[in-house]
Amino acid sequence: MRQPILRRTDFLWRCVAILCSLLSVAVIIAGIVVVVVYHVIHPRVPVISVVDAHLLHFNYDGAGILVTQINIVVRSQNDNMKAQAGFSNFNLELFFDGIRIAVLSTAAPYEVKKNSSVDFNYDYTSDPIPLSPEQIEYVDAYLKEDEVRFDLKGGVRARWRVGVVGSFRFLCNLNCQLRFHPANGTYISRRCSSKA
């Protein structure tokens, strides 16, 4: 009687060994497919960046009320040669001395074709911003230095689709400082691109 039990146990172990072997082969094949797809597609994370800006107006009156007008060009870039990128939840906030003065966003998701980019031109005039005496001193110092600083923070959700492989999602965060010469409104160009 014990002999059939050994044969049954032996059969179960063989089935488990075959299943593990098949699973190992499947994992190896999946790894090879991922490596081949990676080398064929050469994926690059989509990015957003500030490509140009201009400070059109920056002044405060005797009551300490600041009004500023700014133009910012933000580029959504897809450097992938074989995959189209989609962007959604685009939301950037512009701050001056910790005060949020503008929200730059897109209402709907948008697509960027393979190896292409899309520019968004934002013109914004702030509501009157009451300044504290300390902030007035900062503004005076900025005007004397001929350099005004704004912080731009936020991000966008990006994804690119690769045929049958599926889609890959990224969160692109942007956090940089925009600097301008208020005397003529020129943008002091610096690298301002998102990080995934």
Torsion angles phi and psi, residue 109, rounded to 5: -60, 155
Q: Which amino acid is at 127?
A: D
Q: What is the CA radius of gyration of the chain?
A: 28
Q: What average pLDDT does the segment 151-159 reach?
A: 93
Banded pLDDT at 29 (limits 50, 70, 90): very high
Question: Minimal CA–CA distance to 54: which of 118, 105, 123?
Answer: 123
Q: What average pLDDT does the segment 113-127 reach?
A: 91
User: Residue 13 pLDDT > 70, yes or no?
Assistant: yes
The rounded percent of the chain whose pLDDT value lies above 90 is: 46
Across all residues in the chain, what is the average pLDDT?
Answer: 87
pTM for this entry: 0.76
Q: Which amino acid is at 187?
A: Y
Q: How far is CA 148 from the centre of its chain?
A: 25
Q: What average pLDDT does the segment 84-96 reach?
A: 91
Amino acid 1: pLDDT: 46
User: Residue 153 pLDDT > 80, yes or no?
Assistant: yes
